[in-house]
Amino acid sequence: LRGVPTRVMALGAGIVHGLAGPGGVLGVIPAVQMHDARLASIYLFFFCLTSTLTMGLFASLYGTCSSRLAGPRNAGDDQ
């Protein structure tokens, strides 16, 4: 994936992990107990959205901190 900024790659990896993480199971348990399909759907939508965004932002922050700790950038590495 040459030409793709490191931050974008880290954000993408975080989003994929946010979608696939075990937290999804924990999000379903409260939704099953709601006994209202509309409220459960709203809850699941926002649970998935926030967990995905949070994981993506965390991965992006981690990637930024890692590259700063690694020292000077290579000539081919861009933001």
User: 19 with 68: CB under 8 angstroms?
Assistant: no
Answer whether 0.75 is exceeded by the pTM. Answer: no
> What is the full per-residue pLDDT of the chain (79 aa) written as tens digits?
677 777 777 778 777 776 666 666 777 788 888 889 999 899 888 988 887 788 788 888 888 888 788 777 655 555 5
Residue for token pair 């994936």: 1
Q: Which amino acid is at 66?
A: S
CB atoms within 10 A of CB 59: 21
Residues 11, 62: Cα–Cα separation, whole Å: 10
